[in-house]
Amino acid sequence: MIEIDHTAVPLPEPATPVLASYLLNIEEKQRTRFSARGDKIRSGCNEIDDHMLGGGFERGILVGISAEAGEGRLISLHLLSFILISHLSFSLAESSQPPKTRATIIDTTGSFPITLLAKILKAQILDTKTKTARQSIDDGNYAVFNNTVNEKEADDQVRRCLEMVAISRVFDIEGLWEVLGEVGKSSDSGAADDESMSDEDGVEIVIIDNMTHLINELFARKERSEAHTLLTTLSRALHTLTHTRNILTVLHNKTVSSISKTYETDPSIEERYPQRRNKPNQNPQSTSVFPSNQLKPALGQIFSQLPDLHLLVSALPKTRGDAQQHYGQEDDADFRTGSGIKEVQFCNVIEVLKDETPNLGSQTEEERYQRKFGGREQRWAAVEVSADGLALVDTFMAKGNMRGLGLEREKGRTGDVGSVAKLYGFGGRRV
């Protein structure tokens, strides 16, 4: 006869609670250690880096860029170039060995502009050498002045930079998971979890171009509840990888029209259902500060939950006269030329829709006061694509003022900042 042991099974010991202050202390130490990698990552456009973001893009955050044309890609390509060129001199010193991978590009459409990246890298390398030569003339250091780079050497340096980039072609969320797993393994191979980890190794930027294709494909083959569950898990994985490895992750997204197609085809629906006319916006973080802007980020709240910093890029009339003519508010002879009506000019407006970036690290008390949580939301910058198509340049700040908009910057707490800018009902916080 089998005897049964009736002794009670000991209960597992409860988990020891962790104080929030302890977790915050670990996070601050991590941010301080990661700051050894360098300052913020810059896009090369002062209007974006300084006036809108207050110094550039932080490391260790997820950035969402919602744009229809190539301006969104230009931003991410310049962020990528900034990181690659910063490691160029160290890579050339060890030219006998293959350079370490510094960037991972996850291409979902097969159209990532690698040729444009090469042109941007070459232009920035030559521009850097030109600035160095000019500075050497001012300092009288002619030895540095004579150390210029010719076209062939610039091409070799561009090739060296491209060797630091790994490009993966994925078609679904499962493929994205695999690539992110490889990025995590590559970071773990050159770093440990303790304070002795090497911050000079591993991937520093991940660009996913674009998330719209992957999310639409996911909802096309999965039940809605299951798709939302997978996206929630993916969001946690992206944030964990980005924050713990101090990686700048850029998520590209498309834009769609914010005008209801139902009202366009049948205006009587609005008359029969007047309660829909003034329906409040359920997600203000996906709304432009410009009432005239007819674009909004695709996927709505599904995408807006992913990034810490969400930017919207859209084309709007450049000047007051362009706005009056485009929106039909003015029909004056001032807006006509000898051949007819003057052509309306547009510029690209970049807006901060969401800012939930952590305000940690080795910052002074004044910097923390100026960078409050969500303090950059509704800021915007007006930019244009340069003549060679390789960069974004300031639209109204070329001569140090904003007279193109009929506005002037005001002196505030942080120096050269502006107040609320209004233009025929368009606009929000200038900086």
Give 338 or 58, the one with higher predicted confidence: 58
99's CB contacts (< 8 A; 6+ apart) are 87, 91, 160, 163, 164
* pLDDT beyond 50 at 159: yes
Closest residue by Cα to residue 349 from 394, 396, 398, 315: 315
Please state the pTM of the whole predicted model: 0.78
What is the average pLDDT score of the chain? 77
How far is the C-alpha of 393 from the C-alpha of 164, rounded, in Å? 27
pLDDT at residue 156 is higher than 50: yes
Greatest mean pLDDT among 134-138, 213-217, 242-246, 416-420 lies in 213-217
Check pLDDT > 80 for residue 2: no
The domain 39-417 having CATH identifier 3.40.190.10: the answer here is no
Closest CA to 149 of 122, 170, 175: 122
Are 393 and 384 spatial neighbours (Cβ–Cβ below 8 Å)?
yes
Between these two residues, 196 and 25, which has the higher pLDDT value? 25
Q: What is the SS3 assignment for 184-211? A: HHHHHHCCCCCCCCCCCCCCCEEEEECH
pLDDT, tens only, 86-131:
888 766 656 667 888 999 999 998 889 999 999 999 999 888 877 7
Q: What is the pLDDT of residue 197?
A: 46
Q: What average pLDDT does the segment 26-45 reach?
A: 76
| Structure tokens, 65 | 């860029």
Write the pLDDT tens digit of every residue in 376-400: 888 999 999 999 889 999 988 644 4
pLDDT score for 94: 61
Output 393 or 287, whichever has higher pLDDT.
393
| Residue 160 parent element (H or E) | helix 151-162
Least confident of 208-222, 237-251, 256-270, 342-356: 256-270
Of residues 209 and 370, the one with the higher pLDDT is 209
